[in-house]
Chains A and B, each alone.
Chain A
Amino acid sequence: MNLFSIGISHHTASVEVREKMWLSEAEAREILPRLREQYFSECMLVSTCNRTELYGMILPGTTVTERELTEFLIGFKKADPEVQPQHFTACEAGAAVHQIFRVAAGTDSMVLGDIQILNQVKEAFGLAREVGATGPVMNRLMQATLHVGKRVRSETGICEGAVSVSYAAVELASKIFSDLSKKSALLIGAGETGELTLKHLVGKGIGGVRIANRTREKAETLAAAFSGTVVDYDSIADTVAAVDIVITSVTGPTFVLGPEELHRVMRKRANAPLFIIDIGVPRNVDPASRKIENVFLYDIDSLNTVIDRNLDRRKAEIPKVTAILHEETEDFFDWYNSLQVTPTIKDLRDAFENIRTQEVQKNIQRFRAEDRELLDIVTKQIVNKLLHQPMTVLRAGSASNNGRDETLLRVHTVRELFGIGRRVKGADDGA
């Protein structure tokens, strides 16, 4: 198989280097047709902040070296001298298929199991198809890649559990409360992580949002963004009694909330559980408050414990993911090998013969005993005649330019039309 892939990623290059090789959509639209003209019969290109990777089927009868492609890409981006060929890694055939699958499965991501990238891969394939750079192999590769993403998500826990502070806070909230739409949250102070946490809570459908900040304008901007209400910074304790989740990210030398206030707050709220996420450094809530019944107080360190645990669990899922990747790579190769002409001719003949035998068996009782042999002969003749033309065309392709584009496409079409051979499971269910 002459599938080739070359790319630069967070494994091989720093962000300064990677950003030089990042391709915008317009650039991708420009480079793909050129790559197709010069080196590949079909190709696609994924470019995100963590990687730029090129996948292509090398034009039959030609060769291309890693060096040529690297130089072409660096030249296109005019990224010399910051980007050097040693920043790239290349793989061929099975390794290339395995690589795109790893990307889709999140085992190649910077944060293990982060498969946000699956969408970007999907878009990259879509774009390549739009500019006419894909063909049967790339299309199939896309189906298989998306299928890998889907399987990994449903069959393993590689993407489960929060691995960022803000998500970890939301995960904890949903371990304490059952219906967030009936709960409300208060954000005290404005920091990036605090806002992000609130954003995730809003994404989870939190019932109400209140914001308190020393500078009221800032609070008003945030309140507008999250359709929340602004509350007075000086009467925080009163507001805390009325909400269920508190996020604090204030910079300051003193505690914003302490055990005394919280004791009062808990009495006021009839001891209903209160979840406090303290993202401030130094901490905003006196750790002594942790002892109060039904108060769940988490600071950055304890949230990091959640994250570490989730990452460990994701790591433990790697063997399962690897098994899926092997299976899917094998499936892809089964399909690819079936694209050879000879097995296709045989499969086609078998498929027709199967139908013929079935129908003859079903109807044989309707014929007189002496006619039955004749029925067999006549039906065989019909099948042979029907198959004659497609067979001839397929064979002609095989003799002159086996492996070339048109033959591949033709074989692929025949297999699709007559439903021959193994298909990627679930590939057609909207993946």
Chain B
Amino acid sequence: MISNLLVDLFQTGLPFLYAVLVVSYGISFIGGARLLDAWKTRVLVAVIAMHLVYLGARTVSFDHPPITSVFEIMTILAAGIAIAYLYIEVKTGERNTGVFILFLALVFQLVSSLFIRDLVRIPDYLHSRVLGFHVSTALLGYTGISLSAVYGLLYLMLYHDIRSSRFGIVYSRLPNLERLEEMSHRAEVFGFVMLGIAIVIGLIWLPSVFTDFSYLDPKLVATIVIWILYAVGLWAKRQFGWKGRKTMILTLVAFGIVFFSMTVVNIYLSGFHRFH
């Protein structure tokens, strides 16, 4: 079947494609080739298109959307990051931060391609559209939070370089501090809103599907705690007009908490929220 062929082809091929993408953006970042400046975005669009074909082919081949295992979700996350970055690039016209963000996509895709399995028999509820919506909004939420952390990190790098009069590649190729702060903030707001939607859908719909549903499920609790954390942070920024370095450090700390808690929840704790 053609879709099986496509699955096999892209499962192996996508990490390489993302590697090509990261290398292209990397060379372009250090100012190596002006030709790449013109071509890198086209390469990005092509890779995203192929990734979508891969996700479509997986859905057809295994008769369910690829949201049933951590590794299936990772490939969606990779695609989500690439799409979010493309959106940012088009929206802001800022084309020099791709290497940092697409590197995340490469890591997720690589891990996914290495460990993904072809699950055909899955519980009925995993075919649900509502679940698809729940999972995709949650993923978009985490994508936004990750991107805000990447931009926060870039902000701190540039802040440090400007203050210590180090005018290297970071100084010459990154956008200005204000722009980086704004990008980080926007990604954060986006992530916050998406995560909020995912939580609402989950709270309304999950109890009706899972007999063993519990409000004390670790993943649910962790996500809600994270969401409240961001709500407080965003409110404080607005209320007190927090700006600059400290806010960016807070963004990174928050991301650290997210990363840590999600790792712990996914690896060490169990609940109805695990499907594999």
Contacts and interface: CB of A to CB of B under 8 A. Distances in A.
B162 A175 contact: yes
B36 to A, nearest CB: 14
B243 A178 contact: no
Given A172-B162, A290-B163, A302-B165, A177 B176 contact: yes
Given A305-B165, A305-B167, A306-B167, A178 B240 contact: no
A313 B167 CA distance: 11
Contacts of A293: 244-246
Contacts of A177: 176-178
Given A296-B162, A302-B165, A272 B244 contact: yes
Given A175-B162, A177-B176, A273 B243 contact: yes
Nearest to A272: B243
B71 to A, nearest CB: 39
Contacts of A155: 34
Interface residues of A, number: 24
Interface string B235-247: 0000011111110
A271 interface: yes
A271 B182 contact: no
B243 to A, nearest CB: 5
A271 B165 contact: no
B171 interface: yes
B158 interface: yes
B132 interface: no
A38 interface: no
A174 interface: yes
A294 interface: yes
Contacts of A271: 241-244, 246
Given A155-B34, A177-B176, A178-B175, A270 B245 contact: no
Interface string B216-252: 0000000000000000000000001111111000000
Interface string A161-176: 1000000000010111
B171 A175 contact: yes
Given A155-B34, A175-B158, A309 B246 contact: no
B176 A174 contact: yes
Interface in A295-310: 296, 298, 302, 305-306, 309
Contacts of A306: 165, 167
B179 interface: yes
A271 B245 CA distance: 9
Interface in B153-182: 158, 162-163, 165, 167, 171-172, 175-179, 182
B163 A296 contact: yes
21 contacts: A157-B31, A161-B172, A172-B162, A175-B177, A176-B162, A178-B176, A270-B242, A271-B241, A271-B242, A271-B243, A271-B244, A271-B246, A273-B178, A290-B163, A293-B244, A294-B244, A296-B162, A296-B163, A298-B165, A305-B165, A309-B167
Interface of A: 155, 157, 161, 172, 174-179, 270-273, 290, 293-294, 296, 298, 302, 305-306, 309, 313
Given A177-B178, A273-B244, A313-B172, 11 more contacts: A172-B162, A174-B176, A176-B162, A178-B178, A179-B178, A270-B240, A270-B243, A271-B241, A271-B243, A273-B177, A306-B167
**Nearest 9 pairs of A and B residues by beta carbon:** A270-B241, A178-B178, A294-B244, A178-B179, A309-B167, A302-B165, A178-B176, A272-B243, A305-B165
